[in-house]
Amino acid sequence: MTTARAAQPAVKQKQRRPMLRYILKRIAIVPISVFVLGSVSFFLTFLIPGDPAITILGDFATKEQIAHVNAQLGLDKPVLERYVSYWTNLLQGDLGTSFFTNEPVLSDLGKFLPNTIELVFFSLLFALALGMTIGVIGAYFARRLPDRIMSGITSVLQSVPDFFLALVGIYVFFFLLGWAPAPIGRLPITAGSADERPFLIFSSLFTGDWETLGMAVSHAALPVLALGLVYASYFAKTARGSMGTALTTPQVEFARACGLRERTVVYYAFAASRTTVITYVAILFGSLLGGAAIVERVFNWRGMGQWALDGVLKVDVPIIQGFVITAGLLTLTLFLLLDIVVLLLDPRVSYE
Amino acid sequence: MSDAAAIPKSPAAEVVTKIVNFARVSPGIVAGVAVLLFLLLASFLAPLPYDPVTPDPTSVLQPPSAQHIFGTDANGFDVFSRVVAAGRSDLPLALAGTLASLVIGLLVGLPLSVKSKWSEGFMRALDAFQSFPLIVLSVTIVSLTGNDIQNILYAIVIINGPRFIRLIRSEALAIREARFIEAAIATGARPRRVMFRHIMPNVIDVCLVQCSLTTANAVIVIAALNFLGIGVSPPTPTWGSMVQVGAQAISTGQWWIAIWPGVAIFIAIASLNMLANGIQRRVEGS
């Protein structure tokens, strides 16, 4: 990770292109992380107690089913051999097939991951907008009435589980008011095969398919609201903290003394705290890839989280492994991008 | 206050005065503790109007009324009795998970505050571990190791243990620079004595803040896992599983089955957050 520290010109002159070196170094660690990740996902299967095949299939499984699962798990072979063949398959992009649906895990991922990315993208966008507003207002009016109201809102949002907020949303907006559609997926049942398209909202936006876009947005509204409201509290807390510090720095005093407009002053203070906010976006994006699972399930969103959760509950080992590897890879990539973006935005960060 | 000093008081009244004075300084702590104690006492001692684990098939999906103040669910369970009784399993489990996380945090975090290549490497590994969607990892581990309520404890520790380790280590690193540590070492205190006698008492106040945040998080984790049907053994009520039962009825308008246990979760978490804020303010103030 990067550490904020005063730049040291003496060291800088010795190394040429320190930023490039840093980025290359960060990329060089990636294979090691991937190796650890893959191994963890391999050894997860050792946690299953008793006879895995029976745990997976239940007590009423036939002999053939047990033999099939054992062969797929490779339990008839020594551990080392299994480990090697696991990596060979993995490096060829073969994540295995589900025990229960016999679908290749990779094609499942292709179907479900885009749904989750879309949901998480819009939820975070909403959370960011709302949370930043709450936090900045609170920091600007520090210790005055607006600050108290905003911190009250923050602690209420912080105390609600997202799945519970989702249920309240369904009751109020679907049952009482009838504004939102039934929580049965991304499109009404009548939409048919349009549901299969990945990135429904983005693709219908770019192809100008307004009817589908309208339906997709109305179905996305409640899950986005539920996740967005809960995660807005994180941004509100972060923004309140970092803006609170930024607004008391000498720069801000100086900017005010120069007679800059108040809005410009706040903007400068915001610019100083933007790296903290970006870091939070990346962390939350990573955790929401799986963390949205329960909300996805409540709305039958058919996202990666819901898919993984179903796999986990049925002890569908290839799905669990596929999810662990995918979520891990996405998180790794995200953090790599984050470090590079923070480096570009904040010259105080040292290249270590 | 001069009046209070003049009139001799019974010990009980003195305690009350002390609490009132404390509440003036830190209303958050007193309110948070009061609500928590109320929830705990209520779940263990409150008289229940109906048996929480025996359904009454003749009154199914009744809206709140004089007989069933929170209504009944699809199986004929009295929602009020179950909401109250669910605290018996949910709250102690959350506290136990927090305690386990704290102990792990102290046992791992304090030794890691000795700077070395090894401890840096461990922190890196912890970074990687924490960057993972931990709720799904914990669901995986709980469901792989068996559908048992005790296994939820592992989930809480997996999510919160690393947070304690990180916090305690960074606090201990700062305290290590203090002069009294130098003095302790100079008088010949062994590393272990320095760690547990001189450093540990100084990280406890920060740990208290983290403990109440962790308990709040544990309540959410328990509710989320129970909501998914993990660690639930049917008639025994838990808030998460009650919300799950209610979720099936909420689209048709029976709001009371899911809302009341949800409100219970909300109150528990809100009081813990209030407590955390209160302690935080005291720690910062001193």
The partner residues of A97 in beta bridges, in order of sequence, read A104
Give the CB-side neighbour count of residue B88, counting CA atoms within 13 A. 14
Smallest Cβ distance to A287: which of B133, B227, B247? B133
B150/A167: higher pLDDT: A167
Lookup: tokens for B226: 């129970």
pLDDT of B131: 66
Is pLDDT above 60 for B263? yes
Domains of chain A: residue spans and CATH: 112-345 (1.10.3720.10)
Q: Which residues contact A192 (CB under 8 A, 6 or more apart)?
A: none
Task: Tell me, yes or no, if A328 comes closer than 8 A to chain B by beta carbon.
Answer: yes
Beta-carbon separation of A164 and B128 below 8 A: no
Is pLDDT above 50 for B99? yes
Smallest Cβ distance to B247: which of A167, A315, A331? A167
Is pLDDT above 90 for B264? yes
Query: What is the distance in angstroms between the Cα of A303 and the nearest Cα belonging to chain B?
Result: 14
3-state secondary structure B186-200: HCCCCHHHHHHHHHH
Beta-carbon separation of A309 and B139 below 8 A: yes
Region of poorest pLDDT, from A143-157, B36-50, B132-146, B234-248:
B132-146
Q: How confident is the model at residue A342 (pLDDT cuts 50, 70, 90)?
A: confident
Distance CA B68, CA B62 (A): 8
pLDDT of B36: 92
Query: What is the distance in angstroms between the Cα of B54 and the nearest Cα belonging to chain A?
Result: 26
CB-CB neighbors (< 8 A) of A327 in chain B:
132-133, 136
pLDDT of A50: 61
Give the CB-side neighbour count of residue A233, counting CA atoms within 13 A. 17
Q: How confident is the model at residue A15 (pLDDT cuts 50, 70, 90)?
A: low
User: Taking residues A148-159, what's their average pLDDT?
Assistant: 89
The partner residues of B72 in beta bridges, in order of sequence, read B78
The partner residues of A124 in beta bridges, in order of sequence, read none
Distance CA B175, CA B203 (A): 8
Q: Structural domain of residue B15, as residue ranges?
A: 3-285
Share of chain A above pLDDT 90, in %: 12
Share of chain A above pLDDT 70, in %: 87
Lookup: tokens for A124: 């975070």
CA–CA distances in Å: residue B247 to residues A86, A169, B131, B148: 40, 11, 31, 23
Is pLDDT above 70 for A4? no
**Residue of A312, A321, A336 to mutate when probing chain B, most B C-beta within 10 A:** A312
pLDDT of A7: 45
Beta-carbon separation of A170 and B146 below 8 A: no
Which of B100, B106, B97, B219 is CA-nearest to residue B166?
A: B106
Is pLDDT above 80 for A169? yes
Q: How confident is the model at residue A48 (pLDDT cuts 50, 70, 90)?
A: low
pLDDT mean across residues, chain A:
82
Query: What is the distance in angstroms between the Cα of A164 and the nearest Cα belonging to chain B?
Result: 6
Which of B195, B266, B239 is CA-nearest to residue B88?
A: B239
User: Between chain A and chain B, how many beta carbons pairs sit less than 8 Å apart?
Assistant: 119
Task: Tell me how many domains chain B contains.
Answer: 1
Region of poorest pLDDT, from A192-196, A252-256, A302-306, B121-125:
A192-196
Supply the pTM of this predicted model: 0.83
Region of poorest pLDDT, from B46-60, B78-92, B200-214:
B46-60
Is pLDDT above 80 for B129? no
Smallest Cβ distance to A290: which of B135, B229, B270? B135
In contact, A150 and A236? CB cutoff 8 Å: yes
pLDDT of A85: 83
From chain A residues 47-76, the ones with a CB under 8 A of any chain B CB are: 47-49
Ramachandran quadrant class, B188 (left: phi over 0; alpha: psi -120 to 50; beta: rest) = left
User: Taking residues B137-160, what's their average pLDDT?
Assistant: 78
Q: How confident is the model at residue A267 (pLDDT cuts 50, 70, 90)?
A: confident
Greatest mean pLDDT among A27-41, A181-195, A206-220, B233-247: B233-247
Instruction: Scan for tokens 């100083």, then name that residue.
Output: A272
Is pLDDT above 60 for A333? yes
Smallest Cβ distance to A47: which of B145, B230, B265? B145
pLDDT of B96: 94
CB-CB neighbors (< 8 A) of B243 in chain A:
163-164, 167
Size of chain B in residues: 286
φ, ψ at A188 (rounded to 5°): -65, 160
Is pLDDT above 50 for B95? yes
From chain A residues 154-183, the ones with a CB under 8 A of any chain B CB are: 155-156, 158-161, 163-164, 167-168, 170-171, 174-175, 182-183
From chain A residues 99-138, the ones with a CB under 8 A of any chain B CB are: none
pLDDT of B97: 94
Query: What is the distance in angstroms between the Cα of B134 and the nearest Cα belonging to chain A?
Result: 7
Task: Render pLDDT for A89-122 as a digit per residue (tens, 0 to 9).
Answer: 888 888 888 877 888 888 888 889 998 999 999 9
Share of chain B above pLDDT 70, in %: 93
Task: Tell me, yes or no, if B269 comes closer than 8 A to chain A by beta carbon.
Answer: yes
User: Taking residues A179-196, what's their average pLDDT?
Assistant: 72
Beta-carbon separation of A155 and B140 below 8 A: no
pLDDT of A1: 42
B146/A291: higher pLDDT: A291
Please report, for the domain that includes residue B223, its CATH number. 1.10.3720.10
- Identity of residue A230: V
Helix (H, G, I), strand (E, B) or coil at A104: strand
Instruction: Scan for tokens 């461990």, then name that residue.
Output: B122
Task: Tell me, yes or no, if A236 comes closer than 8 A to chain B by beta carbon.
Answer: no
φ, ψ at B237 (rounded to 5°): -80, 140
pLDDT mean across residues, chain B:
85
